[in-house]
Structure formats: structure tokens, C-alpha cells
């Protein structure tokens, strides 16, 4: 039985997908003086700004941590995961519209484009995480065996972003406001996630609302791994895992239903 809308054919284009990721990296940094360092400078700038502004305000609310770099590690643990999630989500939502001309002229599996976005975002995240781990070693926050738990957290985050991104990318072909709406909603989403503030500061009567955010337990899990050096509470990852699965199913359902007509809209 053939798989719908090019899923089977996408595997045959794996070299094209990998080559596109490599070509994208080369093209992005080929003419710049700092090259691939730009992949690090943007998140590094955010970390420095938030660390300077919020370290004096939020650091006292990190119970049991009086180390000078505790808040920076706390911040990086969640912020880097959020940057990965946001990059993958926003790139995925715009991927069909931004490549509309290519889709109309060249015959290749459309699902290759979200996969290219996924691999590119993973590559950027890997580079940043290597530097983050180096920072941990320099500041005395040596990650233990629990660092392995970061892998399923990243997988769940990627699945959630890809599912929402595929849904948004398909709808964005027909309703071009979806891409802009995603950026606006992401700003509110960021402040509903305990990235720059610890979850303890959330009032009890608001906490139940915050916990409906699937990224909430994922960020806390990364803080457990890198700041506290412990294994995350696996039961707390069930909700984001189910959310990721539902997002993937919904995104695939909408794509399979509307995907045949995507090129007709360009």
C-alpha cells in the first residue's frame, strides 16, 4: 500500500534533504566575517541581556542555589530549548509559502521542506548545546548521567513543533495571516513558560492555567537535568508527549486533506 502525499518518496530524497541543510548553512554564513558564530551570537545576546536584567531580581527566588552562575544555568536550560522550539515552529509554519515558487516549478516531495527545517534547527541547537555544556563545566555545574534525559525532552519538543508547524504551514497557504499570528502568540507563550522566572513565583490560582502549557514541563525537565543534576519526573512529561502526538496527528490530517491543492495556491 502506497503512503499518501509523498511520505514514501521523501525517503528517496534523503540526500536532497541533507544536501539542502548543508547548502543552507553554507549560504547563510558564506559572506559573513564571523561565519557560523552568528548561530551562537543571537541566543548568547539574549542570555546576557536576561542574565544581567533578571539575575538580581530572580536569583533570590531559586531556593538552595547561592552559586554565582546558578541563575545563568537556570536561564540557559529553558531559553535554549525555547529558541529551538520557536525556530522550528516559525520556520515550519512558513515553509510552504516561502518556497511556493520552488514547489510550483520543481517536482519533489513537499514533506522534504519541513524535514529540512527540522534538521537545520537541530543542527543549530546541537551547536549551542555544545557551548552550553562547556559553560557548565567551567562554572562547576558538571552534568551527570541525567543528561541523557535531555534527549527525549528534545524529541518531544521537536515533535510538538513539527506537528503544529505542519498544521500551520498547510493552513498558511490558504490563510496567510497564520504565519504572523504565530509570531504574536509566541510572545505571549514565552511569558507563560518558566524560562526567566522559576515556577515557584507563579501564584497558585494561576498555576493550573500555566500547567496547560505543554512546554512548561519540558522546560522544568531541562532545568532538572542541567541545574539540579537530577532525572526529571517522567510522569510530568506524559502531557507534553501526548500533546506532541496529537499535534503530529492533527498536522498530518490537515496536510493529507489539503496538501494536494497546495501548489494551486501559488
The whole-number pLDDT of residue 28 equals 66
Q: Give every residue of the chain whose pLDDT is below 50, as ranges.
A: 1-3, 5
Q: pLDDT tens, 111-145?
A: 888 999 999 999 889 988 988 888 888 888 888 89
User: What pLDDT is stored for residue 3 in this prediction?
Assistant: 47
- Across 158-196, b (16+ Cβ under 10 Å) vs e yields bbbbbbbbbbbbbbbbeeeebbeebeeeeeebeeebbbb
Number of domains in the chain: 1
| Helical spans, DSSP H, in 7-111 | 7-12, 14-29, 38-58, 70-93, 95-98, 100-105
Helix, strand and coil in the chain, % to nearest 5 = 80, 0, 20
Which pLDDT value is given to residue 163?
Answer: 96
Q: Which domain holds residue 86?
A: 4-265
Question: 200: exposed, middle or buried (C-beta count within 10 Å: 0-12, 13-18, 19+)?
Answer: exposed
- CB contact at 8 A, 158 and 72: no
Amino acid at each position: 500500500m502506497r503512503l499518501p502525499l509523498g511520505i514514501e518518496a521523501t525517503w528517496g530524497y534523503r540526500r536532497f534533504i541533507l544536501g539542502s541543510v548543508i547548502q543552507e548553512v553554507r549560504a547563510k554564513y558564506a559572506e559573513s566575517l564571523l561565519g557560523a558564530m552568528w548561530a551562537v551570537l543571537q541566543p548568547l545576546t539574549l542570555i546576557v541581556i536576561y542574565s544581567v536584567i533578571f539575575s538580581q531580581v530572580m536569583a533570590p527566588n531559586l531556593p538552595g542555589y547561592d552559586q554565582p552562575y546558578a541563575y545563568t544555568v537556570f536561564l540557559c536550560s529553558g531559553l535554549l530549548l525555547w529558541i529551538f522550539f520557536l525556530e522550528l515552529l516559525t520556520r515550519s509554519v512558513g515553509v510552504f509559502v516561502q518556497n511556493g515558487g520552488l514547489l510550483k516549478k520543481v517536482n519533489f516531495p513537499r514533506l522534504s521542506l519541513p524535514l529540512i527545517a527540522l534538521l537545520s534547527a537541530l543542527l543549530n541547537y546541537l551547536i549551542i548545546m555544545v557551548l552550553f555544556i562547556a559553560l557548565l563545566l567551567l562554572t562547576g555545574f558538571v552534568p551527570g548521567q541525567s543528561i541523557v534525559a535531555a534527549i527525549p525532552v528534545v524529541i518531544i519538543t521537536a515533535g510538538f513543533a513539527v506537528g503544529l508547524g505542519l498544521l500551520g504551514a498547510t493552513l498558511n497557504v490558504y490563510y496567510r495571516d497564520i504565519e504572523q499570528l504565530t509570531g504574536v502568540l509566541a510572545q505571549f507563550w514565552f511569558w507563560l513558560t518558566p524560562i526567566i522566572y522559576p515556577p515557584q513565583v507563579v501564584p497558585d490560582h494561576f498555576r493550573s492555567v500555566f500547567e496547560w502549557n505543554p512546554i512548561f514541563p519540558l522546560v522544568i525537565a531541562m532545568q532538572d537535568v542541567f541545574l539540579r543534576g537530577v532525572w526529571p519526573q517522567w510522569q510530568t512529561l506524559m502531557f507534553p508527549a501526548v500533546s506532541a502526538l496529537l499535534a503530529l496527528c492533527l498536522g498530518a490530517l490537515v496536510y493529507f486533506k489539503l496538501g494536494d491543492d497546495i501548489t494551486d495556491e501559488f
